[in-house]
Structure 1
Amino acid sequence: MSDSTINTEELGEKIVAVLKTIFDPEIPVDIYELGLIYDVFVNEDRDVKILMTLTTPNCPVAETLPLEVEEKVKSINAVNNAEVEITFDPPWTQELMSEEAKLGLGML
């Protein structure tokens, strides 16, 4: 399948797979399972916008984590461009973590 025929749903799955390779330095769980990714938008030009949060506003990786997310998503061949927007609305809570993340951290 060439890049020109890739659909946004498939691209979304590739993006999620990449997001699952990025870990929060303080919690040994990937940022997707942690619930730090609020939304992933992909338009017809294959531009990606990711709305994400951090565990706390003064998170030690507040400067570097969004850049790492951008760089890794941009490295997907079918992605034209990627932009990360950080929000603290709503603020992150442990409730946003997946069952898998909670299980991995011994919270279930």
Structure 2
Amino acid sequence: MATTVTKDQVLEVLKEVTDPEIGVNVVDLGLVYNVEVHDDGVVQVEMTLTAPGCPLHDTITRTAEMAIETIDGVKEAHVDIVWNPPWTPDMLTDEGRRLLGF
């Protein structure tokens, strides 16, 4: 029987992925825009970064994919970086604001 993967599970493991320059996880920074879990065990995530041209683009993307792939039932993960809507500090979660001292 296949394991059902949930959006909440994906978001929980993405909290382990931090933006190395800021030191806060990508979920609390408000960088994750969309999570789709497909029945075939494929997870697709749309996320952004705090600034276009971020030199850690590939590192953050691959770290997020590897974190998602640790979830039982996930066969593969695909993280796509999008720039629309552009990220602003208004997208921080309450926890992200706390972690950054806002």
TM-score by length of 2: 0.91
1:70 alignment partner in structure 2: 65
How many residues of Structure 1 are paired with residues of Structure 2 in the alignment?
102
Q: Which amino acid aligns with 2:81?
A: I
| Runs of 4+ with >3 A deviation | none
Find out whether 1:87 has 2:82 as its counterpart.
Answer: yes
Max radius of gyration: which structure?
1
1:49 alignment partner in structure 2: 44
Choose 73-82 or 32-41, whichever is displaced more.
Answer: 73-82
Gaps of 5+ in 1: none
Identity %: 36
Cα distance between partner residues in 2 of 1:32 and 1:71: 15
1:7 alignment partner in structure 2: 4
Cα distance between partner residues in 2 of 1:103 and 1:17: 18
Q: 1:36 aligns with which of 31, 38, 44?
A: 31
Bigger strand fraction: 2
* 1:60, distance to aligned residue in structure 2 (A): 2.2
| Offset from partner CA, 1:71-91 (integer Å, 9 cap, x none) | 111122210211111100111
Cα distance between partner residues in 1 of 2:57 and 2:76: 21
Q: Which amino acid aligns with 1:7?
A: T
Cα distance between partner residues in 1 of 2:27 and 2:84: 17
Q: 1:25 aligns with which of 1, 4, 20?
A: 20
Q: Which amino acid aligns with 1:12?
A: K
Cα distance between partner residues in 2 of 1:67 and 1:22: 10
